[in-house]
Copies of this chain bind each other. A is one copy, B any other.
């Protein structure tokens, strides 16, 4: 698609959804128009991420994309924490982690695998991603395993310890992966960039588009969440299913399109960085931050997830580790992730 045409469509669909949101009361129309706007905004985001990745490398580009994508989710979650809707916060954290690890990663690997027989990325990075995902699972699992032994007060303190430890670990990981061991984790240790095409925009323009498009995606996402809840009510869907699946799929649209774009350009390392990096950021940074933020609103949120949520996160992490560990992907591994997503989704739907 030519840039000019894309700009025009993005502007038109954003205006259309704005009109539907403020001047109509049909949740069906609102749902349709905001979905449309998000899809094209996500397309714009994908292109901007590609350009940033051209200048900054796949991994930093992927990190920026994941961060911008999660900023939106963090803002929405803060509003939910303020309202005391802790169960919905945890359901959306769960949904975001498994959505990124299974759906976003699964579709990227599948789409990339249809075009390329085998796609490779740095196995050292795969190993570290696996260990960090495992840390996230362990950190959520331990509080649940000790829940019956701890008083409410101790659990709140313990939640702060867990949250604090995860945030420290995440920042040390950034230092490790971006500074001390940047080269070792790089996808392209030799610096071969010759075959790449000319980027669409300059560095500054691309970052600006990234920021602006992310802001719009955040706004539209919130609108969509509102309209979709009414749609869901009309269709008889459970709150857990809406929180963990519908909201998460829409909320991750940006990561989604950017990751698939990268995979189709044979940059599966960048797609990994977006999907897995986004999951890790949710588990090790966004979730723990919300525990601390809840303190400011006077109602401490603990880090206790339900057994069903832990099972969902646990199996998602194990299958994602299993298929990514060797640093190679193919279409069938995308299918495997997708099947697990389908099974968890169906289970949540029936609950």
Q: How far is the CA of A344 from the CA of B336 in the complex (A)?
A: 29
Check B154–A350 contact: CB distance below 8 A: yes
Q: How far is the CA of A165 from the CA of B339 in the complex (A)?
A: 7
Check A332–B117 contact: CB distance below 8 A: no
Check B145–A336 contact: CB distance below 8 A: no
Check A231 for interface membership: any CB of B closer than 8 A: no
Q: How far is the CA of A163 from the CA of B343 in the complex (A)?
A: 10
Report A135 CB to chain B, min CB distance, Å: 6
Check A12 for interface membership: any CB of B closer than 8 A: no
Check A24 for interface membership: any CB of B closer than 8 A: no
Q: Chain B residues near A216 (CB, 8 Å)?
A: none
Q: Chain B residues near A289 (CB, 8 Å)?
A: none
Check A322 for interface membership: any CB of B closer than 8 A: yes
Report A325 CB to chain B, min CB distance, Å: 7
Q: How far is the CA of A128 from the CA of B333 in the complex (A)?
A: 8
Q: Chain B residues near A311 (CB, 8 Å)?
A: 141-142, 145-146
Q: How far is the CA of A298 from the CA of B149 in the complex (A)?
A: 32
Check A138–B346 contact: CB distance below 8 A: no
Check B346–A169 contact: CB distance below 8 A: no
Q: Chain B residues near A322 (CB, 8 Å)?
A: 127, 130-131, 134, 321
Interface residues on A, range: 35 or more
Check B336–A131 contact: CB distance below 8 A: yes
Q: Chain B residues near A56 (CB, 8 Å)?
A: none
Check B181–A135 contact: CB distance below 8 A: no
Interface residues of A in 294-342 (CB under 8 A from B): 307-308, 311, 315, 318-319, 321-323, 325-326, 328, 330-333, 335-336, 339-340, 342
Assess A330 versus B176: contact at CB under 8 Å? Given A134-B318, A145-B308, A351-B149.
Answer: yes
Check A88 for interface membership: any CB of B closer than 8 A: no
Q: Chain B residues near A351 (CB, 8 Å)?
A: 146, 149-150
Q: How far is the CA of A130 from the CA of B321 in the complex (A)?
A: 11
Assess A149 versus B308: contact at CB under 8 Å? Given A176-B330, A336-B132.
Answer: yes
17 contacts between A and B (CB under 8 A): A124-B328, A127-B322, A127-B323, A128-B332, A131-B323, A132-B336, A138-B343, A141-B315, A142-B311, A145-B311, A145-B347, A146-B347, A146-B351, A157-B350, A161-B346, A176-B332, A180-B332
In the A-B complex, the 9 residue pairs with the smallest Cβ-Cβ separation, listed nearest first, are: A176-B332, A154-B350, A145-B311, A131-B322, A146-B347, A138-B315, A149-B351, A161-B346, A169-B339
Write the residues of chain A forming the contact surface with B, with a CB cutoff of 8 angstroms. 117-118, 123-124, 127-128, 130-132, 134-135, 138-139, 141-143, 145-146, 149-150, 154, 157-158, 161-162, 165-166, 168-169, 172-173, 176, 180-181, 184, 307-308, 311, 315, 318-319, 321-323, 325-326, 328, 330-333, 335-336, 339-340, 342-344, 346-347, 350-351
